[in-house]
């Protein structure tokens, strides 16, 4: 990578704090499992495991077998749950490494139980994305096979507390999971934490909230922002009144304009839809993005920024403690999870406390 490539700075202390906040909210009888799928939401799975184990995390949820191995290298005794489903040719991997595949169909459940490996059952309660139907569960329990170590389902509208589907899904989950006998149960993910004790059962799967995302739309957000994004100023030029900027000339200067070029574009995960729609910060000064976001670069209006701050090599912050991921997602007309994944995968990562009012 080039020294002026954009940088995502990830605060591992804040991630630890978010785990502790969720644990306190859930209470002593409910475990918190960390969802680190998709390379830890784009933030680097390997760097997250040890800090989370240190604060008491004993369960990790990953996307697939390769991620499970990456966790196991750093968490020797913790539970590693694989969300992608049970694969016939992976049974020996599950047994040898104590991985727990999530079975999404009756056939997968039979393979896991007959293969004598620990497994979880995903129960369809209203999300309509994978999961055993009630008829599958009834068929399964009549086989006298080893039970699952975890029964789970997923709430479709947990961020809408008044939505009647929440209670409907909870009741379906209770009915189906009780057929399986005494097994641990998990229904709630991040937003489900705020639906009350009846939704928490034995384990909450903490994903978005672990990374500071406000999935429950609460004010203020009870979780800490865990990252900032900054891009380097690589060129400064002046545009006369009426001058245009970028592809399709979508910005036309209405005053003599000092223009900065940042070394970040959609190749680095900065959404093309942010063209002319968000603002960066240099110190306490605002610098609006102007013109279209291109593959490697984007322009900012530096006219109202002191000249001494408008020098090549200066860093411009695009995500900060006070301007979190959700702000960029709103401007891009997408969800914060997508923004985090895009920039986390494409930008240079570093790990440090990001401060600015946090107790990290």
pLDDT digit string, tens, across residues 221-266: 999 999 999 999 999 999 999 999 999 999 999 999 999 999 999 9
Q: Is 97 exposed, middle or buried (0-12, 13-18, 19+ CB in 10 A)?
A: middle
Transcribe 99-139 into DSSP letters: EEEEE-SHHHHHHHHHTT---EEEB-SS--SS-B-HHHHHH
Domains of the chain: 12-211 (3.20.20.10), 227-351 (2.40.37.10)
Bond from prior residue into 189 cis (ω within 30 degrees of 0): no
Is residue 247 flagged as an active site residue?
Answer: yes
Residue 189 structure tokens? 């993910």
The confidence band for 1, taking pLDDT boundaries of 50, 70 and 90, is: confident
- What is the pLDDT at residue 19? 99
One of 41, 87, 211, 247 is an active-site residue; which one? 247
Residue listed under structure tokens 């034995």: 202
In whole angstroms, give the CA distance from residue 260 to residue 303.
Answer: 9
Question: DSSP assignment, residue 148?
Answer: P
In whole angstroms, give the CA distance from residue 132 to residue 127.
Answer: 11
Q: What is the pTM of this model?
A: 0.94
Angle in degrees, CA 6, 13, 266, rounded to 5: 20
- What is the pLDDT at residue 355? 57
- What is the pLDDT at residue 256? 98
pLDDT digit string, tens, across residues 113-124: 999 899 999 999
Residues 10-27, buried b or exposed e (16+ Cβ, 10 A)? Answer: bbbbbbbbbbebbbeebe
Transcribe 218-254 into DSSP letters: -SS-SSPP-EEEEEEEEEEEEE-TT-EESGGG-EE-S
One of 37, 119, 211, 297 is an active-site residue; which one? 37
């Amino acid at each position: 990578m080039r020294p002026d490539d954009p940088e995502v700075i990830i605060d591992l202390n804040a991630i630890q704090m978010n785990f502790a906040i969720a644990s306190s909210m859930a209470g002593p009888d409910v475990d918190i499992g960390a969802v680190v799928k998709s390379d830890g939401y784009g933030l680097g799975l390997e760097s997250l495991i040890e800090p989370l184990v240190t604060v008491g995390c004993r369960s990790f949820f990953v996307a697939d077998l390769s991620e499970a191995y990456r966790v196991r290298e750093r968490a020797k005794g913790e539970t590693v749950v694989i969300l992608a489903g049970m694969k016939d040719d992976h049974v020996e991997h599950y047994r040898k490494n104590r991985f727990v595949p999530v079975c999404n169909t009756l056939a997968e459940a039979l393979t896991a139980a007959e293969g004598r490996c620990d497994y979880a059952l995903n129960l369809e309660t209203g999300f309509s994305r994978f999961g055993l139907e009630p008829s599958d569960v009834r068929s399964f329990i009549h086989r006298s096979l080893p039970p699952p170590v975890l029964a789970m389902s997923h709430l479709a509208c947990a961020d809408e507390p008044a939505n009647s589907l929440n209670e409907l899904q909870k009741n379906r989950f209770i009915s189906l999971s009780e057929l399986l006998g005494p097994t641990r149960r998990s229904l709630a993910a991040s937003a489900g934490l705020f639906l009350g004790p009846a939704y928490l059962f034995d384990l909450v799967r903490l994903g978005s909230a672990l990374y500071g995302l406000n999935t429950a739309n609460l004010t203020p957000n009870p979780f800490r922002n865990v990252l900032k994004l900054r891009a380097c100023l690589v060129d400064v030029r002046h545009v006369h009144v009426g001058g245009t900027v970028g592809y399709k000339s979508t910005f036309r200067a209405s005053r003599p304009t000092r223009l900065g070029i940042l070394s970040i574009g959609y190749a680095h995960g900065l959404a093309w839809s942010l063209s002319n729609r968000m603002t960066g910060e240099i110190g306490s000064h605002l610098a609006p993005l102007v013109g279209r976001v291109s593959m490697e670069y984007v322009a900012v209006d530096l006219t109202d920024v002191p000249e001494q701050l408008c020098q090549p090599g200066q860093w411009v912050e695009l995500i900060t403690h006070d301007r979190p991921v959700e702000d960029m997602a709103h401007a891009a007309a997408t969800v914060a999870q997508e923004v985090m994944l895009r920039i986390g995968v494409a930008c240079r990562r570093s790990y440090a406390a990001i401060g600015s009012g946090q107790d990290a």
